[in-house]
Amino acid sequence: MWFLYTAGHGVWIFSICPLKTRKLRFLLPSRLVMKLGAILVIVTFLLTRIRHGLAACTSGSIRLVGGTSTSEGRVEVCSSAGAWGTVCDDYWDNTDASVACRQLGYESGTAFGSAYFGQGTGSIVMDNVHCTGTESTLISCTHSTNHNCNHAEDAGVRCIGKNMTKINY
Ligand SMILES: [Ca+2]
Ligand SMILES: [Ca+2]
């Protein structure tokens, strides 16, 4: 016996013998199964988007925000959780600023405190930064992750020198 079944994207043609009718009908993609499948695809897509959205940056990378040019601004650093945060100005000096600037490809920089380039949002990723000046990345400088700051103390930099290579891993 031949049966014709129309389902969403095509036509299913199959042959069954009467004894197996119930078994084969169970295997057919019913409307409910197709709806559940579509919901599963949409949920998976949304969860992937959310996960990528949360990991907005690469841990340890930095950026300058709120300056009048690309070579200055509030220093924002990507946390280990993959979210942009700020740096507290406690012990923030020109040596620290220069490490941040060199990470971005500049030669050196000047430190600014007290949210000179505006207050950031999110977590305060680094506090009590103590760079020796030889570090290639700001996150590798000695610092505290437990802070006693607020965003009114966000650190900033003004970088100088040619931005020949942008080393922002
Ligand atoms: Ca502190
Ligand atoms: Ca310091």
Residue 21 alpha carbon to ligand 2 centre in Å: 78
- For residue 74, what pLDDT band results from cuts at 50, 70 and 90? very high
pLDDT digit string (tens) for 128-160? 999 999 999 999 999 999 999 999 999 999 999
Q: Which domains does the chain have, with CATH numbers?
A: 1-36 (no CATH), 62-160 (3.10.250.10)
Where does residue 122 fall: left (phi above 0), alpha (psi -120 to 50 degrees), or beta otherwise? left
Rounded CA gap, 85 and 42, in Å?
A: 31
Q: What percent of the chain has pLDDT over 90?
A: 62
- Give the number of whichever ligand sits closest to the CA of residue 98: 2
pLDDT in tens, 104-114: 999 999 999 99
Å from CA of 27 to ligand 2 middle? 68
Cα separation values, 34 from 22, 44, 47, 63, 81, Å:
19, 15, 20, 46, 36
